[in-house]
Structure 1
Amino acid sequence: MKTNKRLMLSGDSKAQVGIGTLIIFIAMVLIAAVAASVLIQTSGVLQQQAQSTGNQATREVSSNLIIKSIEGVRAKNSSTIMASDISLMKVKVGLNVGSSPVDLNQLVISITDGSNTNSLLYANNAKTHGSSMADFSDSADASTNLEKLLTSNQSSPGVNARYFFTVQKIRDDDISVSQGNPIMNTGDLVTIYISTVSDGDLAYTSIGDITTSGSQKDSYLDVGPRSTVGMVLTPEAGATTIADFVTPSSYGTKEIISLYP
């Protein structure tokens, strides 16, 4: 005879009730909400920082000035009577493919002849440097500002040739480069003028297309034959551009000398 077996399921009918339990439940929900809010905020801040860092890193590697060529110009009285040194450098500059725009207002150029070094700013940056730009004009053409660079002496900061450079655009399809606001975009090409007048060049009457009548000022640089020249272009953002070269052993009868590359 089989024994009848019954399966009994025990039920737990007890539960916590009351105001205390409700308060604990609400507190747990609030804590979870606060924790979620903190995590969301933190992740948002980290994302913004990562994006900002990525953008800065991209600018550092993509904003590149390229020196296409450097030519030297000798001061002269005539086609046969010329200075023994380079009196003016014409630095042809463009942008690398995919580069971000470069504001030449913020460009700093350091140039050395092996003995002396000049750190140069753009000559029309009146917004940053104020009255020290008094000799230069936003509305003047490039040749007028170049003449001021070569021949003028201000009470502050002093001889223009020792503190400034000027720019003339060669190719500028989007009209972004002006004397007052020289912004280079991809495809733009400009010539940067750097005075290298030495004390032996002061008696000559012209430098390139500029008639100086012997009023050019000493830049403290001396770029004669076999000179070791170093040039560093440092933009506001992006990689620096460096050009190091040795001038030819003789300039011969040439007025314009190819120096780089």
Structure 2
Amino acid sequence: MFETILDEEERGQVGIGTLIVFIAMVLVAAIAAGVLINTAGFLQTQAEATGEESTSQVSDRLQVVSQSGIVNSSGDQINVTDIDFVVAKAPGAGSIDLNQTSVELIGANGQETFQLDEIGSENVEIFTSPDQDTVVLTDSSDRAEVSVDLDDQVTYGNLSTGDRLSVTFTTASGATTTTEIRVPTTLTKDQTSVRL
């Protein structure tokens, strides 16, 4: 059953062949492991970047604290001509630059989209920040007032009694916040503002 190798030279040749095959297998395994480690590192980096972008799209959004309208009357017409929003960072959001935030209005007068920096920095004011030159919400206690003149700054048009308007704020990261505006069915000439 077992053969004894009597020739010592044959025994050494068998050992060298096995050693060469073993070294070749180790080299192939090392190269394959290197490729797998590089691929895993690349996939991990890509997954982290995708996760951060996804988190930003969900969490870096605005929260509408309150909304009101300026009531103007001319003749028999009583309309809401300006809309004022008080906005804050949503819980868990990073810093939000309001100049890079877009607004979309959808209602009976059609649809209009514009950037907040297009309506002018004098109409976007962070009133909890000592630095009035900035329009970036950095702290959870920051509040900003955004005033939109529906006739002068945007061409959407005034809102009449009973009108509805959907307003969507989209931050630079792509996170959206939608709020509904409903003008009361009765407005009087004595009113200067109305809660929407």
AA matched with 1:187: S
Alignment equivalent of 2:155, drawn from 208, 216, 219: 219
Pairs within 5 Å for 1:81-100: 84-100=78-94
Unaligned runs of 5+ in 2: none
Residue of structure 2 equivalent to 1:6: none
Q: In 2, Cα distance between the equivalents of 1:232 and 1:91?
A: 12
Residue of structure 1 equivalent to 2:141: 187
Alignment equivalent of 1:115, drawn from 109, 112, 125: 109
Query: Match of 1:243, SS?
Result: strand
Report sequence identity in percent.
27
Q: Give 1:16 deviation, angstroms.
A: 3.0
For the 8 Å contact 1:74–1:82, the answer to whether it is kept is: no
Q: Give 1:182 deviation, angstroms.
A: 2.2
Q: In 2, Cα distance between the equivalents of 1:10 and 1:255?
A: 110
| CA deviation vs aligned residue, 1:120-156 (integer Å, no higher than 9, x gap) | 11236xxxxxxxx9xx5xxxx72xxxxxxxxxxxxxx
- Work out the number of aligned pairs and report it: 189
Q: In 2, Cα distance between the equivalents of 1:23 and 1:232?
A: 69
Q: Does 1:247 align with 2:157?
A: no
Q: Give 1:92 deviation, angstroms.
A: 0.7
Q: In 2, Cα distance between the equivalents of 1:68 and 1:232?
A: 14
Residue of structure 2 equivalent to 1:4: none
For the 8 Å contact 1:82–1:255, the answer to whether it is kept is: no
Q: Does 1:168 align with 2:125?
A: yes
Q: 1:55 to 1:82 in 2, by over 3 A?
A: farther
Query: Match of 2:78, SS?
Result: coil
Q: In 1, Cα distance between the equivalents of 2:52 and 2:153?
A: 43
| CA deviation vs aligned residue, 1:148-192 (integer Å, no higher than 9, x gap) | xxxxxxxxxxxxxxxxxx41111126x4x63xx522122211011
Q: In 2, Cα distance between the equivalents of 1:47 and 1:10?
A: 54
Pairs within 5 Å for 1:102-181: 102-123=96-117, 142=122, 166-172=123-129, 175=131, 178=133, 181=134
Q: In 1, Cα distance between the equivalents of 2:53 and 2:135?
A: 22
Q: In 2, Cα distance between the equivalents of 1:120 and 1:28?
A: 64
Cα RMSD (Å)? 3.1
Q: Give 1:25 deviation, angstroms.
A: 4.7
Which structure features the higher share of strand residues? 2
Q: TM-score, normalised by structure 2?
A: 0.80
Q: TM-score, normalised by structure 1?
A: 0.62
Alignment equivalent of 2:68, drawn from 66, 71, 80: 71
AA matched with 1:74: V
Runs of 4+ in 1 over 4 A off after TM superposition: 9-13, 17-26
For the 8 Å contact 1:107–1:236, the answer to whether it is kept is: yes
Q: In 2, Cα distance between the equivalents of 1:247 and 1:96?
A: 25
Q: 1:114 to 1:101 in 2, by over 3 A?
A: same
Q: In 2, Cα distance between the equivalents of 1:217 and 1:48?
A: 44
